[in-house]
Amino acid sequence: MEKEINYRLVTELIFEKLLRNHERYKNKYPHISNLMSEGGRLDYEPMDNNLWTSSFFPGEMLLAYSLTGAKEFIADKKSYLDSFEKRLNEHIGISHDLGFLYSLTCVALYKLTEDKRAKEIAAKAADELYHRFNRKGNYIQAWGKMNAGDPYVLIIADTMLNLPLLYQSEDPKHAEAAMLHACTASRTIVRKDFSSFHTYLMDPMSGSAIEGRTHQGFRDSSTWARGQAWIVYGYALSYSYTKDKEFLNIACKAADYFLERLPKDKVAYWDLSFNDMVPDIRDSSAAAIFACGLLELSVLLDNHIKIKKYIKTAKEIVGSLYENYFNHDMNSPVVLTNGMYHRELGSVGTSWGDYFFLEALARLLDNHVRFW
Ligand code: GLY
């Protein structure tokens, strides 16, 4: 990248998209761009609050509020609280993803407005997430019902971004569970060379680890790009809460593994087995998450060479995302093209890629508000 893009200008384009679309997402939430409108526009179908992705549009609105102070970005506060409280009370789509869901809504609203109701709902969500903790194996079960008699259950890389809901809870046993999960994942999901499995099979009765697998990656033994990005950012966040140097070491080594496999345009292919010689589709969302991880590391480290390298790469990624993968159709809510959810769905826009792109831009504009 020859010169830096104008970060403020890009955030203003995103704000315009958010405001043009927010009426459509009143009590509804974007997921992935699986709809093409009649004009061939990339679009997010407004969905009910029942997926792991329901918090990313509210999260973008709240980031926009923290960057601008403009009231229209927080106008739906009550509807967010009502909807996310109902989801918790009615037990809709409950999994380890409670962290994604409640960090970017109730935790964010509490941080921005000190709203007591937001704090109470976040505390309840943290407790619900804690109930997924298996004390024998010291891990948080990703999916499925607890104590259902399954011969094995899964832990997954993505959980690393769900831990901050527990770290930020006032109940110390929640933070302890988060720290223990990060330790277990460091011996299972994270491989010796600091690449990662997407998932790991665990025996819920004995708590013992069985073997590594994948769910969204190319193969069990490969490294799914988004999973590696969850590891980098997740261990950086775990370090920020625990000050355990091993977590910082994992985040840096996993970041270096990712960095060494970036293609020429710095936006990763969906699995790190692919490269410019053997290309496949990209995952702009993995790139955006990775950039946030690098920028988080840059404020945690005291090694100036590493800090410089991580900031430079994050800027190159964000620059390339804008130059090559920004959706300039201002009537479309989709910000980034070329994301990946499940490979068989092809190249899509992703609500989470849009959120992490805005978070990376906010960080580059020196706004270090962190909902995680
Ligand atoms: N957390 C689900 C995903 O990254 O696709």
Of the residues 97, 265, 283, 354, which is catalytic?
A: 97
Q: Does any ligand 1 atom lie closer than 6 A to the CB of residue 296?
A: no
Q: Decide: 105 and 64 in contact? Cβ < 8 Å.
A: no
pLDDT in tens, 64-119: 999 999 999 999 999 999 999 999 999 999 999 999 999 999 999 999 999 999 99
DSSP reduced 3-state for 166: helix
Q: Is 97 an annotated catalytic residue?
A: yes
pLDDT in tens, 124-173: 999 999 999 999 999 999 999 999 999 999 999 999 999 999 999 999 99
The answer on pLDDT for 14 being more than 90 is yes
| pLDDT for position 10 | 98
The answer on pLDDT for 352 being more than 70 is yes
Return the biggest CA–CA distance within the chain. 57
Q: Does any ligand 1 atom lie closer than 6 A to the CB of residue 283?
A: no
Q: Decide: 260 and 250 in contact? Cβ < 8 Å.
A: no
Q: How far is the CA of 227 from the centre of ligand 1 (A)?
A: 8
Is residue 371 one of the residues assigned to a domain? no
Residue with tokens 């840059």: 298
Is residue 1 one of the residues assigned to a domain? no
| pLDDT for position 309 | 98
The answer on pLDDT for 367 being more than 90 is no
| pLDDT for position 41 | 78
Confidence bin at 40 (pLDDT 50/70/90): low
| pLDDT for position 3 | 80
CB atoms closer than 10 angstroms to residue 281? 17
Q: How far is the CA of 6 from the centre of ligand 1 (A)?
A: 29
Backbone angles phi and psi of 214, in degrees to 5: -130, 160
What average pLDDT score do residues 222-244 get? 98
Q: How far is the CA of 69 from the centre of ligand 1 (A)?
A: 30
Element (H, E) at 111: helix 108-113
In the chain, the percentage of residues whose pLDDT exceeds 90 is 95
Is residue 2 one of the residues assigned to a domain? no
Quote the number of domains for the chain.
1
Q: Is 158 an annotated catalytic residue?
A: yes
Per the prediction, the chain carries an average pLDDT of 96
Structure tokens at 289: 């998450």
Domain CATH code at residue 254: 1.50.10.10
pLDDT in tens, 159-213: 999 999 999 999 999 999 999 999 999 999 999 999 999 999 999 999 999 999 9
The answer on pLDDT for 35 being more than 80 is no
Note the pTM of the prediction, 2 decimals: 0.98
Residue with tokens 């109902």: 86
Mutate to test the pocket of ligand 1, among 55, 228, 341 (most ligand atoms within 8 A of CB): 341
Q: Which of 255, 237, 239, 258 is nearest to 247 (CA)?
A: 239
| pLDDT for position 37 | 57
Q: Decide: 358 and 65 in contact? Cβ < 8 Å.
A: no
Residue partners of 114: CB distance under 8 A and separation at least 6? none
Is residue 164 one of the residues assigned to a domain? yes
> How far is Cα 123 from Cα 127, in angstroms, rounded to an integer?
6
Q: Which domain holds residue 291?
A: 7-365
What average pLDDT score do residues 257-271 get? 98
Structure tokens at 344: 């068989």
The answer on pLDDT for 5 being more than 80 is yes
What average pLDDT score do residues 252-260 get? 98
| pLDDT for position 368 | 74
| pLDDT for position 38 | 57
The three state secondary structure string of 49-90 is: CCCCCCCHHHHHHHHHHHHHCCHHHHCCHHHHHHHHHHHHHC
